[in-house]
A and B are shown apart, each in its own frame.
Chain A
């Protein structure tokens, strides 16, 4: 390894003044969740017979897309052994862990019979024709894999804890055996991720008559997979700039800048596939009509894919933490907008007289969850050895 980096718990106050707004948003989100569970979906949401899926489902698919950073970073650092990126594997892991965990939370809020959420585990209920079944199975497996990947991080926190010798010994033993089998879970995690990231797009392939032709395509699954892969690194880079900043650490711009060089390539592959799909199916004719859909499509592709490609191709952007974070955020928002478009803007059910717009409680819970992810990201970096701190700047 060229430069020795160790992951350490960061010494910082968890409840710094900066997290107070997050705590307020989280509290509002919890109230919204309580309102939903006590008073039901009619009272808390604007969902209707025509729009059965709302912003909570969009949050699910968006969190999962954003959390793709976990598997793409695991792939580059561990499967392809690019050691310079090892220090990013753990921040990517907790990003993915939190993304998936809270996707499940948002899903539980959305499900009418949330207590049956475990039903896809029962072989008697397996329904292999459903894209959502594939998603459900893979998400359950991948969440498990992510938590297994977190086991060594958890154990390291307690190894050498002189106050609890028993904990030290148990964690040492678990850590040792966990690392021996970790290769399996890393490969499995990458494989499973590719499956369900694509299936999330395939879910909407079933509704050719309701989804706008700008988005509905037989290769929707491929586009979802490519966009998830493309947004993976930008997410990790964004987290590894904003996270350390909030912990009063210098982001490791050398490594991040190097990782950022892959982003325009992956985004370009996604863009090329998207444009090719549009040209082959001839759906560009829809861009000629001024409509909400064509406008959102143009904003999505130009602002959320093409612009980040241009920005991330510039060395000046890759070297500046602020600009790099901004460019990465743009790429993330571009993919989120794609999910918004596929599941909401482009979805037009027959007989609809007005379009769905989320209720206050739907917004509150969604924003609260995003705040919760940010807060817990910080908390995990403080409690556990997540951040790779270069030796030279480790003097705290």
Chain B
């Protein structure tokens, strides 16, 4: 490259400015060491010892979401428990029968989005289609979504599902905690909680539910294992579980208390801190380009001989054009 000193400084300045624009996104949100936990977050405490697998929560959920819902006859059909099911794009929740070792009684486990305190899907989504609402629910905005499915890759619980069948407007589907648009706390508990006849689902403020869960364990230590699943897992979740058998025997994932976004976001924000590192990097490159510039670049005679082959280009282009003409004749 051969540009005059003055011009070079001007250009490098422009490069730094443009670099900062690029870096802007990377550093726009500041990293925090811990995700802020709000007392307004709602949650559901699931007492697995009470569930008898009636699947009315499933039926209510299907109805609330506008999906086809099972008839009473279908609800009676116990054969669905023969193989484990996962929530899908046409079912936000699924109740499975988990047979635990050394226990003749079946334990039923309701699966759905856990609504993490520090959701990996929210951290992952590059256009902010996933959102942690004021009521603690993690919601999805199809209008923003590009359909990259990074949220599905990111989720440690493997809960977001995709409408692969939909050719034009596929959406990510998962439990919304029956949240109305805008993240307002619904006046009523979610449909599944309302439908539960065994009072196995308890809706309330997450902080209150944790207290209640530990209270229950204290009241009946012979009934429960001393573990509230979701209190710490993956940084804590809005859905909390109490169980009579160890959770790993029921297919619950053994997750550390560290929320995945904490590590990745702190690295990313370190690299992009106040956009200084990227700008400095571009600056160093520009500076070394300038400092190591060839001597002849200073002489005005050569100043038009820009990058590799610009100088002979005019003449060269002409000859090649002629050649092509010659070839075409």
B and A form one assembly: yes
By a beta-carbon cutoff of 8 Å, the part of chain A in contact with chain B is 4-9, 11, 37-42, 45, 47-50, 52-53, 75, 77-81, 83, 86-87, 89-90, 110-114, 116-117, 119-120, 122, 125-138, 141, 152, 156-163, 172, 175, 179-184, 186-188, 190-192, 194-195, 198-199, 202-203, 205-210, 218, 221, 347, 349-351, 385, 388
Among B154, B309, B317, which residue has its beta carbon within 8 angstroms of that of A207?
B154
Closest residue on chain A to residue B296 by CB atoms: A1
Given the known inter-chain contacts A11-B323, A117-B146, A134-B26, please indicate yes or no for A89 contacting B286, CB distance below 8 A: no
Contact indicator B164/A42 (Cβ below 8 Å): yes
User: When chains A and B are docked, how far (Å) is the Cα of A348 from the Cα of B61?
Assistant: 30
6 extra A-B contacts, CB within 8 A, seeds A4-B312, A79-B292, A183-B286 = A80-B288, A113-B145, A113-B170, A156-B309, A158-B317, A184-B12
**A323, chain B: closest CB distance, angstroms:** 28
Write the chain B residue with the least CB distance to A383: B324
Instruction: Answer yes or no: B226 CB below 8 A from chain A CBs.
Output: no
With contacts A40-B165, A156-B316, A385-B316 known, is A207 near B260, CB below 8 A?
A: yes
Is the pair A131, B313 in contact by a Cβ cutoff of 8 Å? no
Please name the 7 residue pairs, one residue from A and one from B, whose CB atoms are nearest each other, closest first. A112-B147, A160-B318, A179-B306, A40-B167, A52-B149, A128-B28, A133-B126
Task: State whether A79 and B88 are in contact (beta carbons under 8 Å apart), knowing that A184-B14, A202-B264, A388-B308 are contacts in the complex.
Answer: no
Contact A130 B124 (CB under 8 A): yes
- Contact between A128 and B29, CB atoms less than 8 A apart: yes
Q: Return B170 CB to nearest CB of chain A, in Å.
A: 4
In the complex, which residues of chain B have a beta carbon less than 8 angstroms from the beta carbon of A41? 162, 164, 170
* B123 lies within 8 A of chain A by Cβ: yes
In the complex, identify which listed stretch (B48-56, B74-82, B235-243, B277-285) lies at the interface while the others stay far away: B277-285
Q: CB of B218 within 8 A of chain A?
A: no
Q: How far is the CA of A90 from the CA of B29 in the complex (A)?
A: 38
Q: For the complex, give the distance between the alpha carbons of A8 and B315 in Å.
A: 11
Whether B15 is near chain A, meaning CB under 8 Å from some CB there, is yes
- Complex CA–CA separation, A181 to B18 (angstroms): 13
Structural contact, A5 and B309, CB atoms closer than 8 A: yes
Contact status A208-B267, CB under 8 Å: no
Asked if B88 contacts A175 (CB within 8 A), the reply is no
List residues 142-194 of chain B with CB under 8 A from any CB of chain A.
Answer: 144-150, 152-154, 156, 158, 161-170
B327 is an interface residue with CB less than 8 A from chain A: yes
Docked pose: A384 CA to B93 CA in angstroms: 58
Given A187-B282, A206-B124: A116 in contact with B265 (beta carbons within 8 A): no
> Is there a chain A Cβ closer than 8 Å to B247's Cβ?
no
- The answer on a CB contact under 8 Å between B158 and A125 is no
Which B positions have Cβ atoms within 8 angstroms of A? 1, 3, 7-8, 11-12, 14-15, 18-19, 22-29, 31, 84, 86, 88-89, 120, 122-128, 144-150, 152-154, 156, 158, 161-170, 253, 255, 260-261, 263-265, 267-269, 271-272, 278, 281-282, 285-286, 288-289, 292-294, 306-310, 312-325, 327
B327 with A11: CB separation less than 8 A: yes
Residue from A11, A119, A209 having most chain B Cβ neighbours under 10 A? A209
Q: Which residues of B contact A38 (CB under 8 A)?
A: 167
Chain A residues with CB under 8 Å of B27's CB are 128
Greatest chain B CB density within 10 A among A4, A112, A116, A156 is at A112
Q: Are B25 and A128 in contact (CB under 8 A)?
A: yes
Of A38, A137, A141, A179, most B-chain CB atoms within 10 Å? A179
Q: Are B261 and A129 in contact (CB under 8 A)?
A: yes
Q: Which residues of A contact B315 (CB under 8 A)?
A: 160
Knowing A129-B268, A132-B148, A183-B289, the reply to whether A161 touches B124 (Cβ < 8 A) is no
A159-B314, A202-B268, A350-B253 given as contacts; is B308 within 8 A of A113 (CB)?
no
**Contact A385–B167 (Cβ < 8 Å):** no
- Write the chain A residue with the least CB distance to B3: A183
Whether B263 contacts A218 by the Cβ 8 Å rule is yes
| Inter-chain contact B166/A190, CB cutoff 8 Å | no
A205: which B residues are within 8 A, CB to CB?
263-264, 267
Beta-carbon contact of B144 and A125 below 8 Å: yes
Contact B306 A180 (CB under 8 A): yes
Q: Is the beta-carbon distance between A137 and B123 smaller than 8 angstroms? A: no
In Å, the complex CA distance between A88 and B317 comes to 19
Q: Which of A127, A131, A152, A162 contacts B264 (CB 8 A)?
A: A131
A130 touches B123 (CB 8 A): yes
Contact between A49 and B152, CB atoms less than 8 A apart: yes
Determine the residue in chain A with the shortest Cβ distance to B171.
Answer: A112
C-alpha spacing A175/B316, complex, angstroms: 14
B92 to chain A, nearest CB (A): 13
In contact, A194 and B281 (Cβ under 8 angstroms): yes
Q: How far is the CB of A54 from chain B (nearest CB, A)?
A: 10
Chain B residues near A112 (CB-CB < 8 A): 145-149, 162-163, 166, 170
CB neighbours (8 Å) of A7 from chain B are 308-309, 313, 316
Residues on A with C-beta less than 8 A from B24 are 126, 128
Which residue, A39, A50, A129, A136, has most C-beta atoms of chain B within 10 A? A129
Kindly provide the distance from the CB of A379 to the nearest chain B CB, expressed in whole angstroms. 14
* Alpha-carbon gap, A120 to B158, bound state (A): 25
B25, A133: Cβ atoms under 8 Å? Answer: yes
